[in-house]
Amino acid sequence: MMQNDIASARRALYDDMLDLHLTPLWESLHSLVPKHPSPGYDAALWRFEDIAPLLARAGTLISAEEAVRRVLVLENPALPGSSSITHSLYAGLQLILPDEVAPAHRHTQSALRFIVQGKGAYTAVDGERTTMHPGDFILTPSWAWHDHGNPGVDGLAEPVVWLDGLDIPMTRFLSGGFAENGEAASQGVARPEGRSLAAYGFNMAPVRQLHSRASSPIFNYPYVRSREALETLRRQEEVDAWVGVKLRYINPLTGGAPMPTIGACMQLLPAGFAGLPHRSTDGTVYSVVEGSGSATIGGKRFAFAPRDTFVVPSWATLVLEAPQDVVLFSFSDRPVLEALGMLREEFLLK
Ligand code: GTQ
């Protein structure tokens, strides 16, 4: 057969195959089994300065009660309509005003809250409240009852904003989503505040209670303690040329990630830090806690300031620079990739 005849015969074959829901692998093999990840979503940065006025407007237009969760979803620019910041993760900025309640519910999706602005709100998990402060890392594990409220502290209540990180797209992909609403808007208080941290947050664990969840028994990792750890280490040792001083949050009972699907880290880049490029297969969301600097992602430079959020896609090279001290929080699907033997990372020399 001539080239032209072959091409048109193939097209005819594909047409006939389509009726039976069949497709020719040889036309898509390269993209199905790529040499390296090409994730098809973008690096992006959301400036808090741009978002804050829109969040405030949302605050005047819908109550937390009516919204259930008053959240502006950070949607990857290349994935419109997906409510996804990477293929596996969801991120959003949630606002709760003084005296509001975001009613109790539970779902199989695992969630984290990273406090971005304001203090005096709380999240309750399984009947224990924890008061939020900027930089605190809070968990609401899969199927745990949770509600949020904002009574303020010391007689002062202010709007509180946090970054929500959930495995919503992963749960959707796995068709594993279940949810229930609570009977009352706020859960009854079953345990005094601070119980989880006292029981599990000091390198000790209770001898007579068994924590049975797959996630960490600590549900608030306070910023004061994470910050102090980073500060001590930066004074004591040479910082890593790629990531500065970086620690991962752990489930103290296992040493593994705090939740099965989401890992999280906090890092400090000392003033003058000009990092070397690195990349990994876990697409990662960063929240800027302190300081201004830049993240160059796959060759594109993003300037960041406190409270900004940015996303680094799987296998995109990341170069971090910090003209002043910078503290970054980050989360990703790393525990999933690790469990599947698919985590790869590279620390490059230039
Ligand atoms: O606070 O429970 O941003 O269920 C998305 C889904 C927050 C929450 C989100 C949720 C929540």
What are the distances in angstroms from CA 263 to CA 4, 89, 247, 336?
Answer: 53, 11, 11, 9
- Mean of the pLDDT values across residues 91-119? 97
Residue 328 CB–ligand 1 contact under 6 Å? no
Ligand 1 atom with the shortest distance to the CA of 73: 3
- Residue 266 binned pLDDT confidence (cut-offs 50, 70, 90): very high
What is the pLDDT, as a whole number, of residue 158? 96
Mean pLDDT, residues 61-78: 96
Q: What is the pLDDT at residue 350?
A: 84
Q: Is the CB of 319 under 6 A from ligand 1?
A: no
Does ligand 1 come within 6 angstroms of the Cβ of 92? yes
The ligand 1 atom at the shortest distance from the C-alpha of residue 107 is: 4
Tell me, rounded to whole angstroms, the distance of Cα 292 from its chain centroid. Answer: 20
Domain hosting 128: range is: 34-347
Which pLDDT score, from 0 to 100, does residue 185 have?
A: 87
Q: Alpha-carbon distance 350 to 347, whole Å?
A: 9
Do 21 and 124 belong together in one domain?
no
Q: Residue 153's pLDDT is what?
A: 87
CB of residue 144 inside a 6 A radius of ligand 1:
no
H helices present in 174-222, as ranges: 195-200
Confidence of residue 305 (pLDDT cuts 50, 70, 90): very high
Sheet harboring 263-269: ordered strands across? 44-46, 309-312, 284-290, 326-332, 263-269, 245-248
Percent of the chain scoring above 70 in pLDDT: 100
- For residue 154, pLDDT beyond 90: no
Q: Is the pLDDT of residue 150 over 90?
A: yes
Host H or E run for residue 346: strand 345-347
Q: pLDDT for 190-214, tens place per residue?
A: 899 999 999 999 999 999 877 778 9
CB 111 less than 6 A from any atom of ligand 1: yes
User: Residue 116 burial (CB < 10 Å; 0-12/13-18/19+)?
Assistant: buried
27 and 38 fall within a common domain? no
Q: List, as one string, the DSSP characters of 258-325.
A: SSSS-EEEEEEE-TTEEPPPEEESS-EEEEEEE--EEEEETTEEEEE-TT-EEEE-TT--EEEEESS-
Q: Whose CA is nearest to atom 11 of ligand 1?
A: 69
> Do 175 and 321 fall within a single domain?
yes
Ligand 1 centre distance from Cα of residue 171 (Å): 14
Looking at the whole model, is its pTM more than 0.75?
A: yes
Q: Please report, for the domain that includes residue 192, its CATH number.
A: 2.60.120.10
Mean pLDDT of 53-61: 98
Quick one: which atom of ligand 1 is closest to the CA of 102? 1
CA distance 282 to 176: 21
CA 313 from centre of chain: 13
For residue 201, the model assigns a pLDDT of 95
Does 179 share its domain with 296? yes
Strand partners, 100: none
Q: Which two tokens stand for residue 127?
A: 């009947």
Residues 22 and 153 in one domain: no
> By alpha-carbon position, which residue is closest to atom 1 of ligand 1?
69
Kindly state if the Cβ of 94 falls inside 6 Å of ligand 1. Answer: yes
For ligand 1, atom 6, which residue shows the shortest CA distance? Answer: 69
- Of 23-27, 62-66, 153-157, 293-297, least confident by mean pLDDT is 153-157
What is the distance of C-alpha 224 from the center of its chain?
A: 20
**Contact, 291 vs 308, CB < 8 A?**
no
pLDDT score of 301 more than 90: yes
Contact 234, 272 (CB under 8 A): no
Q: What is the mean pLDDT of residues 171-183?
A: 97
Does 14 share its domain with 66? Answer: no
Asked whether residue 154 falls in the same domain as residue 271, the answer is: yes
First to last CA, the chain: 51
- Ranking 53-57, 208-212, 271-275 by mean pLDDT, the lowest is 208-212
Q: Is residue 262 within 8 Å of 312, Cβ to Cβ?
A: no
Chain segment 223-248, per-residue pLDDT in tens? 999 999 999 999 999 999 999 999 99
25, 43: one domain: no
Look at 209 and 281; give whichever has higher pLDDT.
Answer: 281
CA-wise closest residue to 285 among 70, 137, 142, 98: 137
Using most ligand atoms within 8 A of CB, pick from 51, 71, 115, 186 the residue to mutate for ligand 1: 71
Residue 138 DSSP code:
E
**Can you tell me the distance from the alpha carbon of 157 to that of 110, in angstroms, rounded to the nearest whole number?**
28
Residue 135 has pLDDT above 90, yes or no: yes
Task: Share the mean pLDDT of the chain.
Answer: 96
The proportion of the chain whose per-residue pLDDT surpasses 90, expressed as a percent, equals: 93
Do 185 and 326 belong to one domain? yes
Q: How confident is the model at residue 1, as a pLDDT?
A: 79
Do 111 and 182 have their domain in common? yes
Is any ligand 1 atom within 6 A of the Cβ of residue 191?
Answer: no
Nearest CA to ligand 1 atom 8: 69
One domain, residues 23 and 87: no
CA 258 to ligand 1 center in whole angstroms: 18
- C-alpha 248 to ligand 1 mean position (Å): 23
Number of domains in the chain: 2
Are 197 and 273 members of one domain? yes
Closest CA to 64 of 208, 207, 145, 162: 162
